[in-house]
Amino acid sequence: MIRTLLALSGAALAAALCVDHAAARDDGRYANSPLKDWFDGLRSGRGPCCSDADGLAVSDPDWDLQGTHYRVRLDGEWIVVPDDAVITEPNRAGRTMVWPIKGSLGTSIRCFMPGNLS
């Protein structure tokens, strides 16, 4: 299900545009957004970001760089972001974003797009 964010920013739009096909579907409400095509085309080395998971905005205290790897805190647990999940193109949404996939073996990261640490 699409997660609700406090403000309808680029990051909130990302969350709304990315749909978990097993639980929800794109209802077309963001069809005219200037970022829609960009979000639809985001890919990491693990595949399309928006195809299998909802994108979430991540606050600065919930992500960091430890050594040479990013980490993100989801549901109180720090998860190391695999190198092939990092999106290296410029972040047009402006906020740090993560596309987690929760399964029987825990949470994995499909895509991660860093923002600026404040």
Q: Could you tell me the fold of the domain covering 10-113? A: OB fold (Dihydrolipoamide Acetyltransferase, E2P) (2.40.50)
Helix-then-strand count for the chain, H and E:
2, 8
pTM of the model: 0.73
Q: Tell me if 113 sits within 8 A of 91, measured CB to CB.
A: yes
108 phi/psi in degrees, rounded to 5? -120, 165
Structure-block tokens of residue 28: 């077309």
- Owner of token pair 């739009």: 13
pLDDT digits (tens, 9 = 90+) for 17-65: 454 433 444 556 667 778 888 888 899 999 998 865 678 899 989 999 9
What pLDDT, on a 0 to 100 scale, did the predictor assign at position 33? 76
**Residues 64 and 70 sit within 8 Å (Cβ to Cβ):** yes
